[in-house]
Amino acid sequence: MYAIVRTGGKQYQVACGDQVRVEKLEGNVGDSIDLVDVLMISDGDDVKIGQPVLENAKVTAKIAEQGKDKKIIIFKKKRRKGYRLKKGHRQSYTALKIEEISA
Protein backbone atom coordinates (compact mmCIF):
# COMPACT_ATOMS: atom_id res chain seq x y z
CA MET A 1 0.00 0.00 0.00
CA TYR A 2 1.32 3.41 -0.90
CA ALA A 3 0.05 6.98 -1.11
CA ILE A 4 1.00 10.19 -2.86
CA VAL A 5 0.94 13.19 -0.52
CA ARG A 6 1.57 16.89 -1.06
CA THR A 7 3.53 18.97 1.43
CA GLY A 8 5.74 22.01 1.01
CA GLY A 9 4.64 22.43 -2.61
CA LYS A 10 6.04 19.05 -3.61
CA GLN A 11 4.55 15.57 -4.03
CA TYR A 12 5.99 12.44 -2.41
CA GLN A 13 5.20 8.75 -2.87
CA VAL A 14 5.20 7.13 0.57
CA ALA A 15 4.53 3.69 2.02
CA CYS A 16 4.32 2.48 5.62
CA GLY A 17 7.77 2.35 7.20
CA ASP A 18 9.37 4.76 4.69
CA GLN A 19 11.46 7.72 5.78
CA VAL A 20 11.22 10.83 3.60
CA ARG A 21 12.84 14.27 3.77
CA VAL A 22 10.36 17.09 3.19
CA GLU A 23 10.48 20.88 3.45
CA LYS A 24 10.65 22.09 7.06
CA LEU A 25 7.56 21.47 9.18
CA GLU A 26 6.88 22.86 12.64
CA GLY A 27 7.29 20.40 15.51
CA ASN A 28 9.82 18.61 17.66
CA VAL A 29 11.52 15.27 17.13
CA GLY A 30 9.14 12.50 18.17
CA ASP A 31 5.96 14.49 17.50
CA SER A 32 3.26 12.84 15.42
CA ILE A 33 1.74 14.78 12.51
CA ASP A 34 -1.03 14.12 10.01
CA LEU A 35 -0.59 14.82 6.32
CA VAL A 36 -4.10 15.49 5.00
CA ASP A 37 -3.28 16.50 1.40
CA VAL A 38 -3.47 12.92 0.09
CA LEU A 39 -3.71 12.91 -3.71
CA MET A 40 -3.84 9.15 -4.31
CA ILE A 41 -3.93 5.87 -2.41
CA SER A 42 -3.11 2.52 -4.00
CA ASP A 43 -3.66 -0.86 -2.37
CA GLY A 44 -2.91 -3.48 -5.01
CA ASP A 45 -5.64 -3.18 -7.66
CA ASP A 46 -7.72 -0.80 -5.53
CA VAL A 47 -6.67 2.74 -6.57
CA LYS A 48 -8.36 5.88 -5.23
CA ILE A 49 -7.56 9.19 -6.93
CA GLY A 50 -8.65 12.52 -5.48
CA GLN A 51 -9.91 15.56 -7.34
CA PRO A 52 -7.57 17.14 -6.23
CA VAL A 53 -7.39 15.51 -2.76
CA LEU A 54 -9.12 12.53 -1.15
CA GLU A 55 -11.68 13.29 1.53
CA ASN A 56 -11.22 11.53 4.90
CA ALA A 57 -7.78 10.24 3.91
CA LYS A 58 -4.65 10.95 5.90
CA VAL A 59 -1.10 9.78 6.35
CA THR A 60 0.24 9.68 9.90
CA ALA A 61 3.96 10.27 10.34
CA LYS A 62 6.41 10.83 13.17
CA ILE A 63 9.12 13.49 13.01
CA ALA A 64 12.43 11.61 12.98
CA GLU A 65 14.80 14.55 12.47
CA GLN A 66 14.94 18.32 12.04
CA GLY A 67 18.04 19.39 10.18
CA LYS A 68 19.81 21.38 7.49
CA ASP A 69 21.08 20.19 4.12
CA LYS A 70 24.61 20.62 2.80
CA LYS A 71 25.62 24.18 2.01
CA ILE A 72 25.40 25.31 -1.58
CA ILE A 73 27.50 28.20 -2.87
CA ILE A 74 26.06 30.97 -5.05
CA PHE A 75 28.77 32.90 -6.91
CA LYS A 76 28.00 35.84 -9.20
CA LYS A 77 30.58 37.67 -11.28
CA LYS A 78 30.65 40.35 -13.96
CA ARG A 79 33.74 40.23 -16.08
CA ARG A 80 36.07 43.23 -16.18
CA LYS A 81 33.98 45.18 -13.64
CA GLY A 82 35.40 43.93 -10.35
CA TYR A 83 31.99 42.68 -9.26
CA ARG A 84 32.00 39.40 -7.34
CA LEU A 85 29.39 38.12 -4.92
CA LYS A 86 29.62 34.90 -2.94
CA LYS A 87 26.71 33.63 -0.84
CA GLY A 88 25.90 30.35 0.84
CA HIS A 89 22.57 28.71 1.61
CA ARG A 90 21.53 25.72 3.75
CA GLN A 91 17.96 24.51 3.26
CA SER A 92 16.10 23.30 6.35
CA TYR A 93 14.31 19.96 6.18
CA THR A 94 12.22 17.60 8.27
CA ALA A 95 12.70 13.82 8.08
CA LEU A 96 9.42 11.95 8.52
CA LYS A 97 8.89 8.26 9.33
CA ILE A 98 5.59 7.12 7.83
CA GLU A 99 3.52 5.12 10.33
CA GLU A 100 0.04 4.70 8.88
CA ILE A 101 -1.94 5.32 5.71
CA SER A 102 -5.71 5.49 6.18
CA ALA A 103 -8.49 6.22 3.70
Q: Per residue, what are the HEC states of 38-85?
A: EEEEEECCEEEECCCCCCCCEEEEEEEEEEECCCEEEEEEECCCCEEE
Which residues on adjacent β-strands are paired with residue 80?
none
Give the chain's domain count.
Answer: 1
Per-residue pLDDT band for 70 (boundaries 50, 70, 90) equals very high
Q: Rounded mean pLDDT of 72-87?
A: 98
Chain-centroid distance, C-alpha 8 = 6
Whole-structure pTM over 0.85, yes or no? yes
Q: What is the dihedral of CA 39, 24, 26, 64, to 10 degrees?
A: 90
Model pLDDT, residue 94: 98
CB–CB of 66/97 below 8 Å?
Answer: no
pLDDT tier for residue 59 given thresholds of 50, 70 and 90: very high
13-50 pLDDT, tens digit per residue, is: 999 999 999 999 999 999 999 999 999 999 999 999 99
> Distance between CA 91 and CA 18 in Å, rounded?
22
pLDDT score at 103: 84
Domain of residue 30 covers 2-102
